[in-house]
A and B are shown apart, each in its own frame.
Chain A
Amino acid sequence: MSAVGSHRMKRMPEPRLIFEQSSAGRVGCNLPVADTPEVDLNSVLGEMREELRLPEIGELELLRHFTNLSQINFGIETGFYPLGSCTMKYNPKINEKTAGLPGFTQLHPLQPIETLDGALEVLMGVQEMLCEITGFDEITLQPLAGAHGEMTCLMLIKAFFEARGEGEARRIVLVPDSAHGTNPASAARCGYDVKPIPTNAEGNTDLEALEKALDGTVAALMLTNPSTLGLFEPNIEKICQMVHAVGAQVFCDGANMNAMVGTTRPGDHGFDCMHLNLHKTFSTPHGGGGPGCGAIGLKSHLEPYLPVPVIRRSSGKVVADYDRSQSIGRVSGFFGQFLMEVRAYTYLRAFGKEKMADISRHAVLNANYVRERLKDVLPPAHDRPCMHECILTAEKYKKENGVRALDISKRLIDYGFHPPTNYFPLIVPECFMIEPTETETKETLDQFCDALIEICREAVENPDLLHDAPSNQIVGRLDETMAVKNLDVRWSPSS
């Protein structure tokens, strides 16, 4: 069993809430003291608040608190994290160093634009490299996360149809049943009605159903390629042609771009726009669930509607263009996730022309290797080569042994691995979605596969071992129903 997190977690005391460690009078930071004349706060501000119940903690205790918390938290640097659809690849340290330069961190978004040449060059560099990698005409870095990028794409499509006088007529967005939940939610957030499109037995889009659904009321099809089944859509060009034939647009969910970097370009497939997750494909850290970083790519017919500011070249200089009469406006406060763009820029320049394709090639190699090694215990949902992730099913253990995919996942934690994604896509029963990424060694993949093979044996011989897992963490399985019933979402002095 791997040492990751196991022994030390069990003997660690339960972490106390920071509020329970507070002692009146302690401070955790040596703050600047104002040397201007004192003022009477009441006369300046009027009535003030009575109390502010924040903890009072010394600096060392603060650090120990968070160090202890970090040790009961699993990250990529802790161990293998094959969370499907999330592309948990290594986040290079050099990126943290470049993004930490004061010439980037100490920039105010409203300082004169003439003082930001270097920042604009970084943004422009990311845009240009992403244009080349995706095959789109334009990239904007304004969206703040993947779902935000999806929503921005739909807004562009909406603006496009409004400008053509088709805004009222086109009110439907088609979303395959295998899509991420953000797709229908983003469509709804843009005021569209959502209509699902089924997936056929081979794992491809059901073309007949698509044909039936397509008419002049459709604004867009939101397609994930490779799909969430980890499969490349072989009919992609035909699908785009079918959608375009009724005047609608095709959006590509770029969550799975890691399968394509340097190998194939969604802009060449016929898509009109797509979102990218720089925190997946281009290695900016996930940070525990954010900041995300959601660039979008688009063809030139959607360009007039780009959110402001538009970063572009003009007479040899990079400029921030706000003077755009057809723009959808702002989708975020300033220039997007700038410090994340610095990281993505660093990453892209590290790979460069020579090595960019190595990303997708090794991501796909690793996923197929895992798929092959596990196929006897966890059969793949489809008998086809997978792309950057493989979708396997644990259905037989549920039927024969009363063990669910969730139980197998929880047992993986005991073996020192972060579990894959479970129960998504929704159309595969007892599903595992395993995305190893290109940054993992063969040895790690072997250890992981060995562990899963062993766990599948346990599922048959000793299912309770799985039902009770994990057993080596600071807590056992948690009661999520109770969390909803007895809602406790904040500490207060009386609780």
Chain B
Amino acid sequence: MLGRHEHLRLSFCLAAGNTTFLNFQMPYIPHTDSDRKAMLETIGVQSIDELFREIPQNLKVAPGSLNLPPALDEPKLMAHLMDLSKKNVNLTDVTCFLGAGIYDRYIPATVSAVISRGEFLTAYTPYQPEASQGYLQAIYEFQSMVAEIYGMDLSNASMYDGPTSMAEAAIMATGIKNLDKVSVSESVHPHYRKVLDTYCWSMGIEVETVPAAQSGTTDLSSVGSTSCIILQYPNFFGNIEDLAALRAKCDAEGALMIVVADPIACALLKAPGSFGADIVVGEGQPMGVAMGLGGPMVGLFTCKKSLIRQIPGRIVGKTKEAHGDKPGYVMTLRTREQDIRREKATSNICTNEALMALSATVYMIALGKNGMQSVAKSSVQNTQYAIQQLTAAGAKLRYNGKVFDEFVLDLPKNAVEVRDALLKGGILAGLPLGEYYSGMENSLLVAVTEMRTKAEIDQFASQLKEVLA
């Protein structure tokens, strides 16, 4: 068997063909020979190598000596990446009924037009607010709309992704309650819980899992003293959890109420904030961010005003000129952050997910109130139709509760086999749940967004009927 480096050499040789070393000029490095000469003269050294004289000789590698593939010119580069991209089955090739936290939703053309503007794309964290008002205002608008959708007092400037946002919320709760224990429902996305486990392990925090898989919604009766209780809304199975009951339980146990919420569902559902949630987090991907194999995503993080000083991440605030009256925007409450507070910071996070937050901002504006509710309504309508058709085709709806755009089907066969069979016919049927929940080997999680048509759902149902026959 070949070792990794042999493989490397092999695959790169194949890519190389007969290319010989060329003395070409890289377009990203503009120096000409005369530039280099003049610059070295000004510095007062003979060669670039001399500038590296503090690096011990035995630690240097000669330029060009690394075992790397040869450089590709731009057309070859494009062709190579095009080839690689075609080795995937992408969702323009199949009809997608797979969700589970990442959704195939329509992305308005305006989103890419805005985020590809170089002034946004190539900026960094707005440390110089006077030269960054564009981004700062956009993030202020983002914070305003995310807080509105979740029904919360305020939002931060965004987090890496949904799972890390939830883990940060849980850790924030342990700090506020001074109690190293968090409780999370089994009906919260398994990947979110895995990330939570990792974060909590490293900090010595106990994670209690609250049962839910049997009934499809969380049974809170077993929860005792804890810093927070975390539920998802709608939950991983698609069911809409009882947040009023969660609030009551949190009050009884003195715990913070944390909800992981789908922002699209919240366009119609009662907002988590209206139930008195303390922290609401979520994945912002459904709002204008490409699925992109799950990255980059954008974590949403909102909370009650009283908790603002414990919040992780950046926050943009409105202010005015020091010597004038014009309004402007700055990053605020900076003394919580790592570059000032170092080990006493509320988190080690030093970026938000600005570009994806900008995508979500454009999305929320492009759709506005009516569009967000229309997308949510279409999803509900398509979902109800799909439930009818798929159950008629021989599947059984596992749970009885209310659902938004996702539901669990129990099949008479192994769900992985059914999924694979349907994929051959161009239907990406959903997520088999056996890998995540024992005893659910025949269960399939199906999502139906506004993107699906009646004809596609009918096609899914008729193919399912054949596969199950």
Contact = CB atoms under 8 A, between A and B. Distances in A.
A283 B28 CA distance: 10
B343 A185 contact: yes
Contacts of B351: 145-147, 289-292
A90 B28 CA distance: 7
Contacts of B68: 129, 132-133, 348, 352-353, 356
A158 interface: yes
A328 interface: yes
A480 B131 CA distance: 15
Contacts of A315: 1
A410 to B, nearest CB: 7
A292 B137 CA distance: 21
Nearest to B85: A103
Contact of B61 (A37, A262, A331, A473): A262
Contact of A328 (B198, B203, B268): B198
Interface in A170-210: 180-182, 184-191, 194
A39 B380 contact: yes
Contact of B117 (A66, A102, A356, A365): A66
B402 to A, nearest CB: 6
A451 to B, nearest CB: 15
A214 interface: no
Given A83-B127, A111-B98, A372-B44, A185 B338 contact: yes
Interface string A43-70: 0111111001111110100110111111
A383 interface: no
A74 B123 contact: yes
Contact of B419 (A92, A106, A108, A112): A112
B38 A442 contact: yes
A354 B295 contact: no
Nearest to A17: B141
B14 interface: no
Contact of A332 (B116, B163, B290, B334): B163
Given A108-B102, A329-B201, A351-B26, A45 B369 contact: no
A44 B140 CA distance: 34
Given A330-B195, A409-B128, A479-B319, A340 B28 contact: no
Given A108-B102, A362-B29, A288 B88 contact: no
Contact of A101 (B72, B82, B197): B82
A85 to B, nearest CB: 10
B321 to A, nearest CB: 5
A475 B134 contact: no
Interface string B286-303: 000011111111000000
Contacts of A166: none
Interface in B139-191: 140-141, 143-145, 147-149, 151, 153-155, 157-158, 160-164, 191
Interface in B417-437: 419-420, 423, 428, 431
Interface string B246-288: 0000000000000000000011111100100000000100000
B292 to A, nearest CB: 4
A156 B89 CA distance: 34
A338 B264 CA distance: 24
Contact of A71 (B87, B134, B320): B134
A5 interface: yes
A169 interface: no
Given A333-B294, A476-B324, 7 more contacts: A48-B268, A65-B365, A181-B340, A264-B52, A385-B45, A478-B320, A489-B143
A452 interface: no
28 contacts: A34-B450, A36-B385, A41-B377, A49-B267, A49-B274, A52-B373, A55-B145, A69-B137, A70-B134, A72-B134, A81-B124, A94-B78, A105-B291, A128-B8, A269-B59, A288-B124, A330-B197, A333-B163, A334-B102, A349-B77, A353-B67, A364-B51, A385-B45, A441-B30, A477-B323, A479-B319, A484-B317, A489-B332
Contacts of B51: 364-365, 368, 385
Nearest to A329: B198
B409 interface: no
Interface string B435-469: 00000000000000011011001000000000000
A290 B371 contact: no
Given A476-B324, A478-B319, A333 B191 contact: yes
B342 A287 contact: no
B125 interface: yes
A288 B134 CA distance: 10
A41 B268 contact: yes
Contact of A184 (B52, B110, B343, B457): B343
B92 to A, nearest CB: 5
A73 B132 contact: yes
B211 interface: no
Interface in B225-259: 240
B17 interface: no
A305 to B, nearest CB: 11
B350 A189 contact: no
Interface string B24-51: 1011111100011011101111001011
B317 A488 contact: yes
B203 to A, nearest CB: 5
A424 interface: yes
Contact of A483 (B198, B332, B340, B356): B332
Interface in A444-495: 468, 470, 473-480, 482-484, 486-492
